[in-house]
Amino acid sequence: MQDGPGQGTKPVCLVAEGLAGLAHPVEEPALLVGQGRILALGAAALKAGAKRLALPGLWLAPAPLDAHVHLHLGGTVEDNLERSLAAGLAAVRDLGHRPALATPHTRPGQVPPWVVTSGPGLGCQGPGSSWLAQALAGPEALRQAVWRRALDQCGVVKLFASGLLDFDNPGQVLHPLTFSPAELAAAVRAADEAGLPVAAHASGAQAVRACLEAGVGSIEHGFFLERPLIREMAALRRSWVPTCAAVKAHAQDPEGRHSLEERQGLWSIVQGQMRALHLAEGLGVDLVLGSDAGSYGLEHGAALFLEMACWLEAGLRPATVFTAATSRAARLLGLAGELGSLAEGARAWLLGVPGDPQVEPMLLAKPRWRNF
């Protein structure tokens, strides 16, 4: 990868039509970048005396992040990272793979995309177990598995707290709760001690409520949620990564895996998730964009924008969609201050798009200019 402007030794002042994702307002649409960082913004950037690069008609924005991917699915890890980079992603959160596979190396800021990985998920034994998780039973086994993830330098713990959606019976979950309250509590307590956040694959009220009570930080998928539980999620300030595109891909069924009846049921699941997502925005839930890339029909990189399109179709405000892919995603990945916003000291992994992506977030899918 060649150095972009401001990646080398000499700072460059980028002058654009506008700036999206500012941590603080500035009076002029200019950024001073150098050594891969944002050094100054606004008038201070213009006054620095550095060489200027004009970007007429373009808005500068932080590159988006995908908060839910599976790097071992849909191709090799290396190919999937290249696809993510080609799509302009700054970071991905890799949430679970087969225990027999090696955990991909984290890429802490040397080159994009930055990877935050969970390693193998933590799952139950017997019914409800996941092939993307280590099979565990009992609080002590989960505690030890969490510390193993910490020793392996994982950046997040992934719990499989429910089974999969029942495609034959829309609205139901196969194995609706896989861990006891004591097991969930032990895993979350160990993660807190190890300084790791916890993400939980959880669909249906039973699993989501148990995860909220245990202190899980982010709910992944979270299908079939009603107003009271969504309101509780908002009150507790827990994040929700709803992965609408994952089921929509099955409903579209490009490989013909499902019957017409199954596809109709899948569309009903998608529509229900979109209604819940719209309700969650109104109730103030911390919504974060994650695509489930690597799953059926979801190519790494491009999948994030399929998820983004689902949110817009659901009627969410464009500004919510933009922040869910940038600053909120960065905060959930533990990368606030590094990625997701235009702020002094942040990585200068920037996209130039022909308009304000806070008004038209899909502009992020086809940048006219990039700095990485």
Per-residue pLDDT of the chain (372 residues; tens, 9 = 90+): 345 776 667 999 999 999 999 999 999 999 999 999 999 999 999 999 999 999 999 999 999 999 999 999 999 999 999 999 999 999 999 999 888 887 776 666 678 999 999 999 999 999 899 999 999 999 999 999 999 999 999 999 999 999 999 999 999 999 999 999 999 999 999 999 999 999 999 999 999 999 999 999 999 999 999 999 999 999 999 999 999 999 999 999 999 999 999 999 999 999 999 999 999 999 999 999 999 999 999 999 999 999 999 999 999 999 999 999 999 999 999 999 999 999 999 999 999 999 999 999 999 999 999 999
- Whether residues 291 and 181 share a domain: the answer is yes
Calpha distance 308→73 (Å, rounded): 21
- Whether residues 120 and 153 share a domain: the answer is yes
Please give the structure tokens belonging to residue 349. Answer: 């992994």
For the domain that residue 57 is a member of, what is the CATH number? 2.30.40.10
For the domain that residue 266 is a member of, what is the CATH number? 3.20.20.140
- Whether residues 57 and 72 share a domain: the answer is no
**Residue 274's closest CA among 310, 240, 298?**
310
Position 105 scores a pLDDT of 67
3 part of a folded domain: no
Position 8 scores a pLDDT of 65
Could you tell me the end-to-end alpha-carbon distance of the chain, in angstroms, rounded to an integer?
8
- Whether residues 43 and 191 share a domain: the answer is no
Verdict on whether the full-model pTM lies above 0.85: yes
Q: How far is CA 263 from CA 164, 197, 223, 258, 259, in A?
A: 16, 35, 17, 6, 6
Q: Specify burial of residue 97 (Cβ count, 10 A radius: 0-12, 13-18, 19+).
A: buried
Number of domains in the chain: 2
Position 2 scores a pLDDT of 41
Position 103 scores a pLDDT of 73
- Whether residues 55 and 114 share a domain: the answer is no
Please report where in the chains the tokens 């001073």 appear, as a residue. Answer: 32
Calpha distance 189→195 (Å, rounded): 10
Position 1 scores a pLDDT of 33
69 part of a folded domain: yes
Range of the domain at 277: 65-332
118 part of a folded domain: yes
